[in-house]
Structure 1
Amino acid sequence: MPGTHRPLRLAINGYGRIGRCFLRALLESPVAHNLQVSAINEPANLESMAYLTRYDSTHGRFPGPVEVTDGQLLIDGKAIRISHARTPEEVDWQGIDLVVECSGAYGRRAELSRFLHAGSPRLLLSHPGASGEDVDATIIAGINQHTLRGDERLVSAASCTTNAIVPILDLLDREIGIEQVLLTTLHSVMNDQPLIDGYHHDDLRRTRSAMQSIIPVSTGLARGVERLLPGLAGRVQAKAIRVPTLNVSAIDLTITTQRPVSAHSINHLLADAASGPFKRLIAYSEAAHASIDFNHDPHSAIVDGSQTRTSGTHLVNLFVWFDNEWGFANRMLEVADHWSRLWQQQDN
């Protein structure tokens, strides 16, 4: 097992939007001295991987050199070994301390355990487990990372939307009490949607062109929130709508409260949290924003105070922005760093 004198070796399985954002977030982070991406498994060819690392339509050009040499990806002068397997069993995970699973193709414990049986000591998911029992822990950075012990082998970082809304609901429930929650996610397009109509998905709405329509889709967000905030069990309902933008999503949140509130008191509470204990997770603004303003924003959520509304003294509506790629990648990175430090403490 690793000690404190070398970075822990990570492997990324699935080098798509989140896999590439995770790598880039790590290289831009102060925890890069503790964590190092040593391997990537991605079925696509190496030249395409290098090209999409250098040039990103959403987050801009990569800030450092990206080269291909001897079948490896060389990023900022550091070599990353590459494999192109389609199953966990085909990959040599030897020497890897943690696999960051970003393909989204595995959700049940039996599927995830294939990585462990193939030699990976631990797995961090970029998506929720199919159920709470399918992983050892589901962690929202800044909220419940203290529940990690260090001996877990399957951990989920939940979803981008769950990371955005759970800190806000947790804060509001503790400070003013929440009776009921109704939220609607307005989410940027995803790669399970086609550019033009096609036989692409069992959900008929997802057969429609992603860039021409606003499209309702199914969501498990309510279950995910209740899994992390069990005090709200049975009181959360959620809808999701895909909108034709490349990145940055929003949540339209309506709650009924136990204590009387006003728009001013709610905004004051959230602004204080954003400048204090939730500074890393939540930001607050009352400027005249559009979604593009939050591209590459590392916060889990940005509360748009200009959109806060109340009806009476117990019905509140909030509007929350979040970069569904970059914010989530940064939270995943924090989970990986915190978890890894627990192993190091145990080893020493």
Structure 2
Amino acid sequence: MPADRPGPDVSRPLRIAINGYGRIGRCVLRALMESPHRRSLDVVAINEPADLDSMAYLTRFDSTHGIFPGEVGVLEGGLEIAGRAIPVFHARDPADGPWSRLDFDLLLECSGAFATRERLQAFLEAGCPRVLVSHPGRSAADVDCTIVHGINDGDLRPDQRIVSAASCTTNAAVPILDLLERHLGVDGAFLTTLHSVMNDQPMIDGYHHTDLRRTRSAMQSIVPVATGLAQGIERMLPGLAGRIQAKAVRVPILNVSAIDLAVNLRRNTSPDALNALFAAAALARPDLIACTDQPHASVDFNHDPHSAVVDLGQTRVNQGRFANLLIWFDNEWGFANRMLDVARVWAGLFQDSAAPAHATFSSSPGV
């Protein structure tokens, strides 16, 4: 796995704004609070249609990640989080946002509502200098590049304006497949994602989606859904094009997902040899990959920041070259941390040494 670039060594923090303060937007802010790189990033604005009281409440109390580790309050026109004032706006359309009036470096688009270049371009036209998207573009052409941190950070350039941080499943699968391809060769792979419920599913049966399976109660059934994971992997690892298939099912838990990976390898191996390979990768990239030999269940990986955690006790090999792996990942927390990593690496390319300047709201800086 390619070595990560060092983070930016600059005299001021990267000024970021968050568009969409739902599951990923709140996790991004909270992950920043808990990050050792906290001082290198500064949240100067949030755009979210919800009212301030609801935003403050859901920041403070989270059913999945627990109580926020700091004070949260409401100020006129914004939130106070851990003693920092952050202005909040409520625009539903990029053109109605305050972007041209803000002095910031990067917008983190976390709403999930903008997947095409035309729609993302609207943020640039409204005054955003750059946009980092919390999901893949609908096609490769919809973004300037898609980044899986630790794999293709070298594709980032300072002149790019719209970049995707891929998806939680792509960030979990690609580092493992890249490792297998480089050390053993991959003839073909089939991935089944067991994903926790998402907010495009109803709690009880209802007319919530054109995919009829997604009209069924999220908490009563295992629900097969469509996935673009195979295409996402091939964008990152083009050498595997035509050799990847994937499917996904939603399972009735709030958080943490898993990938059941079946892979045909080009060279013989064994469970012990595979596990040694994963253990070495975890030592080399402890920020991305972890291993466990404990008899864990999914809940044990809640709030785990890694892209992928290989369950060593579930490694199987049949006839030397057909391997089956189980990879755990916190689909919220792990991805939020990777999005911040991509922002930090990108900042190292475009950020100048100008003095910090924040939105006109308070003398206190953002988080």
TM-score by length of structure 2 reads: 0.92
Q: Tell me the equivalent position of 1:281.
A: 288
1:99 counterpart letter in structure 2? L
- Which of these residues, 157, 161, 180, is aligned with residue 172 of structure 1? 180
* Structure 1 unpaired stretches of 5+: none
Q: 1:296 aligns with which of 297, 303, 312?
A: 303
Provide, for residues 276-330 of structure 1, a one-character-per-residue CA deviation record: whole Å limited to 9, x for no partner.
Answer: x222111001110100000000000100010111110110000010000000000
SS of 2:351's partner is: helix
Counterpart residue type for residue 22 of structure 2:
G
Match of 1:67 among 56, 73, 86: 73
Pairing partner for 2:224 from 205, 216, 235: 216
Q: Secondary structure at the match of 1:201?
A: coil
**1:339 paired to 2:339:** no
Q: What is the Cα-based RMSD across aligned positions, in Å?
A: 1.5
1:197-276 superposed matches below 5 A: 197-275=205-283
Write the distance in 1 (CA, Å) between the matches of 2:124 and 2:138: 17
Inter-partner Cα distance in structure 2 for 1:206 and 1:346: 49
* Paired residue secondary structure (1:47): helix
Contact kept? 2:147, 2:163, Cα under 8 Å = yes
Task: Please name the residue that 1:45 is paired with.
Answer: 51
Between the aligned residues of both structures, percent identity stands at 63
Letter in 1 for 2:299: I
Instruction: After TM superposition, give the deviation of residue 5 of structure 1 in Å.
Output: 3.1
Q: Tell me what 1:4 maps to.
A: 10
Structure 2 residue identity aligned to 1:110: E
Runs in 1 of length 4+ with deviation above 3 angstroms?
A: 345-348
Rounded to whole Å, the distance in 2 between the matches of 1:23 and 1:160 is 17
Alpha-carbon offset, residue 31 of structure 1: 1.6
Superposition map of 1:122-141 within 5 A: 122-141=130-149
1:314 matched to 2:321:
yes
Cross-structure match for 2:157 = 149
Give the alignment partner of residue 29 of structure 1, picking from 29, 35, 47. 35
Three-state SS of the structure 1 residue aligned to 2:194 is: strand
What secondary structure does 1:111 align onto? Answer: helix
Secondary structure, in 3 states, of the residue corresponding to 1:74? strand
TM-score for the superposition, normalised by structure 1: 0.97
SS at match of 2:291: strand
Does the CA contact (< 8 Å) of 2:11 and 2:353 recur in 1? no
Which runs of 5 or more residues in structure 2 are unaligned? 1-8, 356-367
Q: Which string of whole-angstrom CA distances, capped at 9 and with x for unpartnered residues, describes residues 149-184 of structure 1?
A: 211100000000000010000011000000001010
| C-alpha contact (below 8 Å) 2:24/2:336 kept by paired residues | yes
Question: What is the match of residue 359 of structure 2?
Answer: none
Give 3-state SS (helix, strand or coil) of 1:242's partner. Answer: strand
In 1, Cα distance between the equivalents of 2:235 and 2:150? 16
Kept after mapping to 1: 8 A contact 2:12/2:354: no
Give the whole-Å Cα distance in 1 for the aligned partners of 2:345 and 2:84.
23
Alpha-carbon distance in 1 for matches of 2:159, 2:232: 23
What letter corresponds to residue 18 of structure 2 in structure 1?
I
Q: Distance in 1 between matches of 2:152 and 2:282?
A: 18
Q: Confirm or deny: 8 A CA contact 2:56 2:79 kept in the other structure.
A: yes
